[in-house]
A = this chain, B = another copy of it.
Amino acid sequence: MATIKEIARLTGVSVATVSNVLNGKQGAAGSAKAKEILETAARLQYQPNALAKNLKLRRSHTIGIITEDLTVFNTPEIVDGIEACCEEQGFEIVLANMRLFKRYNNNLTDTPEHAALFERTLRTLAAKQIEGIVYVGYHYRKIPHFPPEGSVPFVYAYCIPCEKRFPSVVFDDEGAGFLVGSALTQRGHTKIGVITGPIESLNAQARLRGYQRALYEAGVLYNAELTFVGDWSQEIGLRWGRELLARGVTAIFAFNDMMASGVYLACAEKGVAIGRDVSVFGYDNLSLDEALSPPLSSVQSPLGEMGRRAAGLVLDQIRGLPSGEPAEWSIPCRLHVRESVADLTQSKL
């Protein structure tokens, strides 16, 4: 790789002049010399050494992204949003993927090993002189790890820190639950089954809260007998689907698409027509949702937007913009109402 020293030698000027010209400093050289320098640089495909430059300037214009696991399905879209924001604002990113799932082969992510890995990751990033960090969780939960006091700006995405000193960006689960509840009550459903996630899931809790609020505002009684606790699996969807059908619901809201697909199985068993006899709503908007028969209604999380927002918060802090109290930002979700939902207020055909 060519260096400014080389260009200086070739053009017979000092490195300072080359540096100045290349950085567009006005009047750094006579126009003839300047042109020659520029041409030589282009000819040699000169590319400044980022290591040297950043070392000298003591700025990297780079933020780090720590992902818990890049292969978990929501993560790449969040990373993409972060990158989009950084690109627009002239920052680079360096990705540090902790690979929790591949590494530990299970969900035990908040262990001492994880803590040690987090520390290591933090130090690796610090060594690269990054100016801020976005931490991307693999699902919405409380994270017991933070950077030490006095570290660079730090923002959590798709998760929240145990301590309130840091901002976080999540999607609006409660709002999504509300939207689904409203979509169903507006279409005349009053006897609605729910299959939640595990009770400790923050996502599930928030969704249920929103759903209950929708019923309340629609003047529909909430019947706790129609709410079952799930575990995200298809099997449990099948099991509670059977149970809910037996209890005569007209609609079922499963808190993820996998469980909703289990409900589909239950309906097939009983010969119940989805989208006519019973309506089904899922969550996650997986690519195969539209491939199910009938296409499954679902909720899409604003992952890219979460990434953009998280990155924006970090960059603002780096720029020293007034940021107020660290807050928990909540980005609205988008509903996809498909043929799996029937409108009971229409006369049946």
Residues of A with Cβ closer than 8 Å to B? Answer: 1, 45, 47-52, 54-55, 60, 70-71, 73, 75-77, 79-80, 83-84, 92-95, 97, 99, 102, 123-124, 126-129, 148, 234, 257-258, 261-262, 264-265, 268, 286-293, 304
**B-chain residues with CB within 8 Å of residue A264 when the two chains form the complex:** 291, 293
A60 contacts across to B, CB distance below 8 A: 51
Q: Which secondary structure dominates chain A's binding surface?
A: helix
Contacts of A265 in B (CB 8 A): 293
Cross-chain contact A97 with B77 (CB below 8 angstroms): no
Is there contact, CB below 8 Å, between B70 and A97? Answer: no
* A47 to B123 CA separation, bound complex (whole angstroms): 7
Q: Which residues of B contact A48 (CB under 8 A)?
A: 127
Please give, as numbers and ranges, the residues of chain B lying within 8 Å of A47 by CB-CB distance. Answer: 123, 126-127
**A80-B102 CB under 8 A given contacts A261-B291, A265-B293, A288-B257:** yes
Q: Pull 11 A–B residue pairs with CB atoms less than 8 Å apart, ordered by A.
A: A45-B148, A48-B127, A49-B127, A51-B55, A51-B129, A52-B55, A70-B76, A75-B76, A84-B99, A84-B102, A234-B291
Partner of A51, one of B1, B92, B128: B128
Complex CA gap A5/B75 in Å reads 40
Which residues from B are CB-within-8-Å of A128?
50-51
Please, which residue of chain B has its CB at the minimum distance from the CB of A262?
B291
Check A80 against B84 for contact (C-beta < 8 Å): no
Residues of B within 8 A of A262 (CB): 291
Interface centre among A47, A123, A257 (most CB of B within 10 A): A47
Chain B's nearest CB lies how many Å from the CB of A118? 15
Complex CA distance for A161 and B52, rounded to whole angstroms: 33
* A148 CB contacts on chain B under 8 angstroms: 45
Considering the chains assembled together, what is the distance between the CA atoms of A46 and B281 in angstroms? Answer: 53
Interchain nearest-CB distance for A153 vs B (Å): 15
Q: Which residues of B contact A99 (CB under 8 A)?
A: 80, 83-84
